[in-house]
């Protein structure tokens, strides 16, 4: 047998032995999935045109104004919304928001010398004295209802130690909210050339604020009393400076939920209003209005216009959305892929939205857990589905399982494990057996090769002995000679 033939036999035998044990119990890898639906479109430049069902686009006298949906942020009206202007006391919306986010409502606020005396001439205040203490909640009522500048300073110092550090927090929070044209120089809005904002940025700040429950409690209160303190024996009676919230005022607006006014000579009148009607929630910002009456009038125009823009629509139904998600099961240190289940929204996206938003303008984005564990019952919550109009989040629905999937019984998993262990052992034995057989074949081949060489050598060479004469009466071999003879 030639060396090449022996090597070929070894290779064929190894392949055959290995293939016998290649069948395994598969545990496929898991996968994640995100599904989208719909297209993205730009909003119209004007939110609505005049029609029998909608109010005409209003003429706003203020220098800048914006109207947005308070829940989604969708812009319904805009005028010079990115023009940098002075906010005056509507600055206090940010101050109270940060107090609600970072303060302790069980604390008391003590007014320092700096808080009482460094608020600027002509500042609005409630007559707090150096060393006077009020509750944290009373302080925030004093800021939003009476626009008390000295209380703003005291709250800033209480939260961050210094007013300067608190102002840094204000600017950082503004950036987090997406404000790019805002810079605060103090916590109350007293005029400073480096203290400015825009209608758009103030709408972002207010949107975040009205979704804070504690803030909204202060923002929507028309009257509040601060009881006697450690230094003043009289009750302080506070009335909201936003007359749209006072039912005794000629500027009262029945749909107004909360608001904050502002004024100084450079800012003129500023006004932020939060209003609601039925399922609609709107935020308006008016900057640099020439007179409080103008600010109130502009705000009512904006609100009445905005409320006419809404329609009831089904933006996404359960049947419009389909998705699958893999389901896994853990067994000891293994992750078993069991397949997938189908998902659907828990309900249709029936919403009251501005008329210009329809199915073709929305996108659905799913947030799914990539490690969904079995068992999964029909109707169980798997993730969430968010609906977007451009970058505005319109709403969310839970994603629930439309199909179910059971877990593999423990006994079956144990059986699979035993079979896999047996397979592994058999495969390992096959590999060792193949190696031993290969070694034996090599040895056999080598022996046969060596024997063959010897036989051929014995046939080709002949040893010839020559003898000399007798020595001492004995005949012996004198020498040996090798002569080569080829057959």
Cβ neighbours for 184, distance < 8 A, ≥ 6 positions apart: 91, 94, 167, 170, 171, 174, 195
- For residues 77 and 47, the answer to whether their CB atoms sit within 8 Å is yes
Residues 6+ apart with CB under 8 A from 360: 38, 39, 41
Q: Crossing angle for the helix pair 136-146 and 149-160, nearest 10 degrees?
A: 140
Nearest to 31 by CA among 344, 370, 399, 374: 370
Among this protein's residues, is 147 annotated catalytic?
Answer: yes
Q: Which is nearest to 180 in space by CA: 92, 82, 68, 93?
A: 82
Question: 426-447 burial string, b = 16+ CB within 10 Å, else e?
Answer: ebeebeeebeeebeebeeebee
The span from the CA of 368 to the CA of 343, in Å, is 10
The C-alpha atoms of residue 191 and residue 169 are separated, in whole angstroms, by 19
Lookup: tokens for 18: 């290995």
Residue with tokens 């007293």: 190
Distance CA 312, CA 279 (A): 10
Task: Name the active-site residue from 92, 207, 260, 288.
Answer: 92
Q: Catalytic: 220? A: no
- The active-site residue, picked from 123, 124, 137, 147, is 147
Catalytic positions are 89, 92, 147
């Amino acid at each position: 047998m030639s060396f090449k033939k022996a090597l070929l036999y070894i290779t064929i035998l190894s392949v055959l032995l290995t293939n016998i044990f290649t069948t395994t119990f598969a545990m496929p890898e898991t996968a994640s999935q995100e599904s989208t639906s719909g297209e993205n479109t730009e909003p119209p430049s004007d939110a609505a045109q005049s029609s029998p069902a909608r109010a005409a686009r209003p003429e706003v006298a203020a220098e800048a104004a914006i109207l947005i949906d308070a829940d989604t942020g969708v812009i319904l009206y805009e005028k010079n919304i990115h023009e940098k202007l002075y906010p005056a006391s509507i600055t206090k919306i940010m101050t109270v928001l940060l107090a609600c986010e970072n303060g302790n409502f069980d604390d008391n606020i003590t007014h320092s010398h700096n808080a009482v005396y460094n608020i600027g001439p002509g500042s609005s205040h409630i007559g707090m004295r150096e060393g006077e203490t009020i509750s944290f909640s009373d302080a925030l009522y004093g800021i939003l209802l009476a626009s008390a500048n000295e209380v703003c300073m005291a709250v800033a110092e209480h939260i961050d130690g210094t007013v300067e550090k608190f102002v840094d927090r204000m600017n950082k929070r503004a950036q987090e909210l997406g404000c790019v044209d805002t810079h605060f120089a103090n916590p109350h809005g007293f005029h400073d050339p480096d203290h400015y904002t825009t209608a758009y940025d103030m709408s972002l700040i207010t949107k975040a604020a009205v979704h804070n429950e504690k803030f909204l409690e202060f923002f929507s209160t028309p009257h509040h009393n601060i009881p006697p303190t450690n230094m003043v024996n009289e009750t302080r009676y506070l009335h909201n400076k936003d007359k749209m919230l006072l039912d005794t005022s000629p500027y009262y607006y029945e749909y107004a939920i909360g608001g904050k006014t502002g004024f100084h000579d450079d800012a003129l009148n500023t006004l932020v209003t939060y209003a609601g009607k039925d399922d609609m929630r709107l935020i308006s910002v008016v900057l640099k209005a020439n007179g409080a009456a103008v600010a109130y009038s502009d705000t009512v125009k904006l609100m009445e216009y905005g409320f006419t823009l809404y329609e009831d629509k089904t933006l996404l139904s359960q049947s419009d959305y389909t998705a699958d998600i893999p389901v896994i099961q853990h067994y000891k240190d293994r992750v078993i892929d069991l397949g997938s289940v189908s998902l659907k929204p828990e309900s249709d996206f029936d919403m009251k939205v501005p008329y210009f938003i329809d199915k073709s303008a929305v996108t659905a984005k799913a947030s799914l857990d990539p490690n969904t564990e079995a068992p999964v019952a029909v109707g169980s919550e798997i993730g969430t589905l968010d609906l977007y109009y451009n970058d505005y989040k319109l709403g969310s629905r839970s994603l629930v399982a439309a199909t179910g999937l059971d877990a593999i019984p423990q006994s079956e998993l144990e059986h699979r494990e035993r079979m896999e262990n047996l397979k592994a052992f058999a495969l390992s034995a096959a590999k060792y057996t193949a190696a031993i057989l290969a070694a034996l074949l090599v040895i056999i081949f080598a022996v046969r090769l060596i024997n063959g060489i010897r036989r051929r050598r014995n046939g080709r060479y002949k040893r010839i002995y020559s003898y000399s004469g007798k020595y001492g009466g004995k005949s012996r071999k004198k020498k040996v000679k090798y002569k080569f003879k080829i057959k």
